[in-house]
Structure 1
């Protein structure tokens, strides 16, 4: 049985914050690729929305296939900096450069879909090369059920704050038009500055996270030796995907992520074309997102202590889908204030905030559930493969993102937004059709997430029983007191 490479006691807040800082990169990448990429390359640069969605989906699939290999390689990495941090140090600068190029080369991208595809692949793979080793540290830094929730809370808080900062500055500064007759989202001039800002934040936050955790990581006992040959690598990956708890978790998390990706990828289209919002009204959207993020950060720990991680995720996913459905149904049934009014904006923002709150709670919960699978696998097989499990989870999340973006791309094309159009020139019947389809999708996605997550069987009691079993196995012969791992 492997020895636990974990220091005892509660983690200092500075370690939790340094760990969370590493997810800022993921937040920036998600906010850019999910919120602005499609409308930029479709409505600003003139790409067909189906081609844009195919570029995103193809890059996600390449990235997803690479993820388990990154996870297994990070498990096997041995250096004076540990087996995770060298990945963060090595990928930070190339990742920042790839991100800046994505928004600074519109002339190249306009004439080369293949070049755009490779740029997006580079961004996604380099982000994974940081995110997978970083998130795998959750299972190494502590085995405590609630401390892992705390690490995930900080991780998601920083991730969404990074994305929120990028979104807020995009709407309020970079993509805000000086001409009241022009919508800033449809003006190409601000996107290069948006990309440069994101690249700088990516570089600083990734290196800062690695430096902030370095002393703690070096103080951990060395992990056990692992086989490095390719057969062992693929055997571990296959073993992870045969774990019943892991299969149940990812089958539900797939749709939690699909719901989030569908919501975010459609946001600009919905606010411009369905709700007829102005630049000034769009600038308030990040405020609702901030409330959802901070609310979820405050609530998820209490929810896990009272209901457990699985039931918290299920309840939040169902509630989010139902809440997302309501404003679109009310709009189409004639029960909504005048479109484009400030009353309409305030009501919509309230519903969006509540729905996003549910999706964020569900996402934090499912991500935290991965860590308990590590000990379940350790009890059954005697090895710890944190990187493989977290990489597999992130891989499935990317399939969920791909599905969400595919749905939005097909929806945009189906309702006639393939060409560059101003909101006032779009037929009302098409806006109503888009609203009904989106509302129905959100209900269906919530139900599918619930069906998968219900089969996840690890709770607090079973996790603590496994920790006790591991402790007794590690206890030296004749030692009656033993140590809790």
Structure 2
């Protein structure tokens, strides 16, 4: 029998507090995906393939641990609820591990093993907060649209966390006082970037837990597990669920596209598009427009087209918009590189492509919650933590694939050592553009193909709720 949640729309304070918990994920993604490779490669002198392998290895370890965290989160029973003790316990060590990644470059530079341990610690501690936090979506409400709202707020706060860190990096921490020099290639600013991120991680994680505390502890207890005490039995059941397999196969490439775009952004803007520090500072504005646009659009799109079809259309749209500027540049239809017209056009295309990526990501993540009831109809138990952990594991494999592709692209371009943008041969920059553009189109198509097999829609979800005796058919999103 389904565990009843309070009926009706959730209070705004709960949506805000729940969303606040994803700021940590946004900061982590901004740091590890956007700046980490450039910092350790072009600033500290690591080979780009080594840096990408460190990131990939940490992601694989983290991904393998995720289902265990999810299952343990499902099984946690305390007076603080099933999920919140994880947030309270991980906040401080997570902030410390993040700061060490950026404020101790001498240690990292001389010890690849130490760097691996530090990155693994960051990723696992973030997962120990993110998995229990996002698993609350399926417990706080059963409504199809309210779950979209919760995921919208999660993505909004996650992206705002990453956007704040990115904007301060480009506009403050990583700017150079030397004319003609790029602050992205100087070590000094990365320490401040790391300490700021650590403070944000600590404050927002604890704030999210405290903001939801009374609501979570007042929820009825979940149904008892029906598969015995085997963690691995629950994990195996999750990965045999047809809807989850379909979602994971599509989400893998949605995240690969995002990771490829974000991990390559500094390289492409520096070496292909010839942007300077002042022009870099405009990129967060485009990112902000994409974030708020997606936040406003995704709920309406889900009500009209459904979550799956919205995700498919957004993935294809993003791939096409990522391809066009590189094709125009390489075929001679682009304004002078580095000029005002070039920067405006580039940021416009990037903003639209990012908008599509964010809509696809929100849609795919929101689809996980409905799998929880599909599983409950078939097996009589709810394993929210396992499903969300499995989804996050899929995301990490997608991130690993994207970072691997970028590492290979950077190595192909000969950027193994520090190089000024003007020293890169023009034909190499052109080849980088074609490879990147082709990858983004292929990734978008693969995401759409995978998602086509996901069969849960609004009608089938509400039918399952009716079977379980806890449905709220007819309720519509009110915020």
TM-score bracket, normalised by the shorter chain, equals over 0.9
Aligned to 1:296: 294
Aligned to 2:445: 447
2: distance between equivalents of 1:336 and 1:460? 44
Alignment of 1:20-419 (within 5 A): 20-226=19-225, 232-419=230-417
Deviation at 1:224, TM superposition (A): 2.5
Aligned to 1:482: none
Deviation at 1:5, TM superposition (A): 4.2
* Secondary structure of the structure 1 residue equivalent to 2:217: helix
Pick the aligned partner of 1:467 from 458, 465, 468: 465
8 A Cα contact 1:258 1:403, kept in partner: yes
1: distance between equivalents of 2:335 and 2:235? 53
1: distance between equivalents of 2:297 and 2:223? 37
**Unmatched 5+ residue regions in structure 2?**
472-479
> What TM-score, normalized to structure 1?
0.96
Q: CA RMSD in A?
A: 1.1
2: distance between equivalents of 1:377 and 1:51? 41
8 A Cα contact 2:88 2:209, kept in partner: yes
Deviation at 1:6, TM superposition (A): 1.4
Deviation at 1:10, TM superposition (A): 0.9
8 A Cα contact 1:96 1:200, kept in partner: yes
2: distance between equivalents of 1:277 and 1:12? 44
8 A Cα contact 2:247 2:364, kept in partner: yes
8 A Cα contact 1:21 1:205, kept in partner: yes
8 A Cα contact 1:370 1:393, kept in partner: yes
Deviation at 1:227, TM superposition (A): 7.1
Deviation at 1:171, TM superposition (A): 0.2
> What TM-score, normalized to structure 2?
0.97
Pick the aligned partner of 2:429 from 414, 431, 434: 431
Deviation at 1:343, TM superposition (A): 1.1
User: What whole-Å deviation, never above 9, does each CA across 1:264-307 have from its counterpart, x for those lacking one?
Assistant: 00000000000000000000000000000000000000000000
1: distance between equivalents of 2:403 and 2:457? 32
User: What whole-Å deviation, never above 9, does each CA across 1:79-110 have from its counterpart, x for those lacking one?
Assistant: 00000000000000000000000001111111
User: What whole-Å deviation, never above 9, does each CA across 1:59-90 have from its counterpart, x for those lacking one?
Assistant: 00000000000000000000000000000000
8 A Cα contact 2:372 2:383, kept in partner: yes
Pick the aligned partner of 1:457 from 455, 458, 468: 455
Deviation at 1:226, TM superposition (A): 3.3
Aligned to 1:477: none
* Secondary structure of the structure 2 residue equivalent to 1:417: coil
Aligned to 2:12: 13
Matched positions, count: 471
1: distance between equivalents of 2:56 and 2:2? 40
2: distance between equivalents of 1:366 and 1:180? 44
2: distance between equivalents of 1:154 and 1:232? 34
8 A Cα contact 2:73 2:132, kept in partner: yes
User: What whole-Å deviation, never above 9, does each CA across 1:412-431 have from its counterpart, x for those lacking one?
Assistant: 00111111100011100000
1: distance between equivalents of 2:4 and 2:93? 31
8 A Cα contact 2:156 2:292, kept in partner: yes
* Secondary structure of the structure 1 residue equivalent to 2:417: coil
8 A Cα contact 1:40 1:188, kept in partner: yes
2: distance between equivalents of 1:367 and 1:376? 16
1: distance between equivalents of 2:313 and 2:466? 30
8 A Cα contact 2:227 2:233, kept in partner: no
Deviation at 1:3, TM superposition (A): 3.9
User: What whole-Å deviation, never above 9, does each CA across 1:338-385 have from its counterpart, x for those lacking one?
Assistant: 011111111000000000000000000000000000000000000000
2: distance between equivalents of 1:26 and 1:359? 17
8 A Cα contact 1:175 1:191, kept in partner: yes
**Unmatched 5+ residue regions in structure 1?**
475-485
8 A Cα contact 2:226 2:381, kept in partner: no
8 A Cα contact 1:57 1:405, kept in partner: yes
User: What whole-Å deviation, never above 9, does each CA across 1:116-165 have from its counterpart, x for those lacking one?
Assistant: 00000000000000000000000000000000000000000000000000
User: What whole-Å deviation, never above 9, does each CA across 1:19-55 have from its counterpart, x for those lacking one?
Assistant: 0000000000000000000000000000000000000
2: distance between equivalents of 1:214 and 1:5? 18
8 A Cα contact 2:135 2:388, kept in partner: yes
8 A Cα contact 1:76 1:228, kept in partner: no
